[in-house]
Structure 1
Amino acid sequence: MRSSSEARKMSRHRHLPGHRPRGVIALALAALMAAFFVPGAAAAVAPSEDACHATGDVMPRGDCGPFHQVFAENFNGDLVPLGSFSDCDHNADTPSAYCGALTGSYRADWWAYPRGWYDTADPRNHSNGNTRLLGGEYRADDTVWVGPADNGDGRMHIRMYRPRSGGDIHSAAVVPKRIMNQAYGKISARVRVVKAAPGYKSAWLYYGDACEMDFYEQNWVDTVHFFHHPCDGRGQSYADTGKPFTDWHTVSLEWTPGHARYYLDGHLYLHDTRAVPSRPLSAVLQNESALYGAYAAPGSWAQLDITWVTAYAYAGRASVV
């Protein structure tokens, strides 16, 4: 697979005329130096660079920059049991797609790749030309549920696994329907791999024809990467953030005419202007078997938690189809 990577805000010290005792000056200098050299101090005050300035657990609400919010879900207070993401139809990439066992707002807002579809690595698919010998079947029916974590925080949980008897990994790809078939916009999520294991990965992306914008990708035992695949087939660009999947992160993609900007925790890691898609695409939160490295062991499992997801239309043009 593919791999590679703040502005410190300085306070102005005003020098007042007149004599100051040396001890006071020394204390002032020590305080100033501490502000600059305490580990994490600069990161704590560094402003977010993305349009919504969101990096933490609090879900952003409302419009920001050139983006109009069309979807916001923090999962708090919701219970969607394991098994609810089943009977998902094959009417892909249209807002009419649904999962028959879901009800209410979740039926209206979410779809998942159906059972019987195979992930990128699976020999029955190999959609990117890889030669992996083991892959996965999309099984949101037994890998995805919504409920509180131990601390009470509402989350979407995605626990992929490989049966003890061997065979295919059970993968999961979920789709926020409010931005299906939309040209331009923004998507953000607060996410963490709460248990990593070899053989499992994410590839959250917009995809269509030769175009691909991957805004949270790589094996879960590695570091978060971004990839931009121009629509004209020119070579990809990428950024290795160096940040582990096992930490909480806010991940964002801003897609505007001629620009694709990829952010992690408010920091812009990748900006590409080459052959950026202009036609409507759908975002997929795709989680699947690894495309390189060790295969998932029989009986192994790994889990990703999402605490909020927000999505936006681009206000610069009528873009929803």
Structure 2
Amino acid sequence: MGSHAAAGRRRPLVLGALGVTLLVALLSIPGAGGAPVSADACRDMGTSLPRGDCGPFWQVMAEDFNGDRMPLGAFSDCDHHADTSAAYCAGLKGEYRDNWWAYPTGWRDTANDRARAVAGVYHPEDTVSVGPAENGDGRMRIRMWRPADGGPVHAAAVVPRAVMQMKYGKYSARIKVTKQAPGYKSAWLHYGGGCEMDHPEGEWTGALSAFHHPCGGGGQGSFRGADDWTEWHTVSTEWTPGHVRFFVDGREIGHDTRDVPDRPLSWVMQNESALEGPGAAPGSSAQLEITWVAAYAYGWK
């Protein structure tokens, strides 16, 4: 189990890469003993939950989902102090109630603003659960689905409370899409005040990428991170004064310095209906699994 600590609702997405490629990092840097070393601040290439402070970051959340189980239905009644650091889901209990919030049932996802033929509505109560995999590994599961009658997609956006409305920081998770279907995507983001940082983002049947939309406008920074969501990937965003860096599996895939946010923003682990390509078919579903989440504040020394 992890530690504790509001999110913007639906954020605008600028579609398409506008050709801003700022800095794409090299592959993993060999360490003194020849073993690969991550290029991020923690220098950790392991697949297990990282623990402890690293570089200019101090850890405020370390969650491996190996504690209590949260069945479907637990992430319910979430419309309490929504979008503030006091937000909570009354259906949760114990540390999960302290540590997690979700967009309340009934909030509409981004596709609604794009006049997509298939859009979604957030339903954390029937999309989000926590429990062990067959090998005993604790995981959070995001299972989005579309009713057989062709209604809206049931989407999910979960928010770690420890880093709601936090300025700067490091945000990491290990993720895998365990069931693919067209029409489903992720856009994990920080946004507000005209600023936006997205990582990871993409349709689950396509590539995993990162994007930066400068606060002052202009072309987005677009950085391809991995070809396939169905492999395990460790994704990290490092946000410091004047800089945002994106990492996949220890490799820096992008770095932008243009109008980087300098205001508190929340980390929204947003999963929703697709904005490109075909919409989700009636009766379809797709699933993302998260085996750990780690988050860090900035400037501890």
TM, length-normalised to structure 1: 0.83
1:91 corresponds to 2:81: yes
One of 282, 285, 298 as aligned partner of 1:298 = 282
Partner of 2:16: 2
Tell me by how many angstroms 1:240 deviates. 1.3
Query: Within 1, Cα distance between the matches of 2:46 and 2:81?
Result: 35
On the 8 A contact 2:233/2:248 being kept in 1, the answer is yes
Question: Are 1:205 and 1:213, in contact at CA under 8 Å, matched by a contact in 2?
Answer: yes
Contact 2:29 2:38 in 1 (8 A): no
Residues 137-176 of structure 1: pairs in structure 2 closer than 5 A: 137-176=121-160
Higher relative contact order (CA 8 A, sep 6+): 2
User: What are the superposed Cα offsets for residues 282-304 of structure 1, whole Å, 9 maximum, x if unpaired?
Assistant: 00000000001011000100000
Deviation per residue, 1:203-248 (Å, 9 max, x gap): 0000102100001000000010100000001211111124311100
Distance in 2 separating the partners of 1:91 and 1:222:
35
- SS of equivalent residue, structure 1 residue 107: helix
| Structure with greater helix percent | 1
Q: Match of 1:209?
A: 193
Match of 1:108, SS state, is helix
Q: Give the alignment partner of residue 90 of structure 2, picking from 92, 95, 100.
A: 100
Show the counterpart of 2:9: none
Task: Provide the secondary structure at the position in 1 that maps to 2:98.
Answer: helix
CA spacing shift, 1:254–1:233, aligned 2, 3 Å: same
> Using the alignment, how far apart are the partners of 1:215 and 1:9 within structure 2?
25
The answer to whether residue 219 in structure 2 is matched with residue 219 in structure 1 is no
Where in structure 1 do 4 or more consecutive aligned residues deviate above 4 Å? 7-11
Letter of the 1:51 partner, please give it.
A
CA distance in 2, matches of 1:218, 1:224: 5
| Separation in structure 2 between the aligned mates of residue 192 and residue 156 of structure 1, nearest angstrom | 11
Partner residue, 2:8:
none
Q: Distance in 1 between matches of 2:194 and 2:200?
A: 19
> Which residue identity lines up with residue 72 of structure 1 in the other structure?
A
Structure 2 Cα separation of the partners of residues 255 and 70 of structure 1: 15
- Of the three residues 68, 80, 99, the one matched with 2:70 is 80
Paired with 2:31 and 2:94, the residues of 1 have a C-alpha distance of 50
Contact map agreement 1:54 1:250 (CA 8 A) in 2: no
Counterpart in the other structure of 1:20: none
> Could you give the per-residue CA deviations for residues 17-76 of structure 1, whole angstroms, max 9, x where no partner exists?
xxxxxxxxxxxxxxxxxxxxxxxxxxx943210011234321000100000100110001
For residue 106 of structure 1, what is the amino acid of its counterpart? Y
Whole-angstrom distance in 2 between the partners of 1:254 and 1:231: 17
Please state how far the C-alpha of 1:90 moved relative to its aligned partner.
5.1
Deviations 1:250-277 (A, max 9, x none): 0000000000000000100010000000
Q: Please list every run of 5 or more consecutive structure 1 residues that lacks an aligned counterpart in the other structure.
A: 12-43
Give, in angstroms, the shift of residue 185 of structure 1. Answer: 0.5
SS of aligned partner of 2:37 = coil
Instruction: Report what 1:272 is aligned to.
Output: 256
How large is the RMSD of aligned CA atoms in angstroms?
1.8
Q: Distance in 1 between the 2:154 and 2:217 partners?
A: 31
Contact 1:93 1:181 (8 Å CA) reproduced: no
Rounded to whole Å, the distance in 2 between the matches of 1:291 and 1:234 is 21
| Equivalence map 1:52-67=2 (5 Å) | 52-67=42-57
Aligned length: 279
Larger radius of gyration: 1
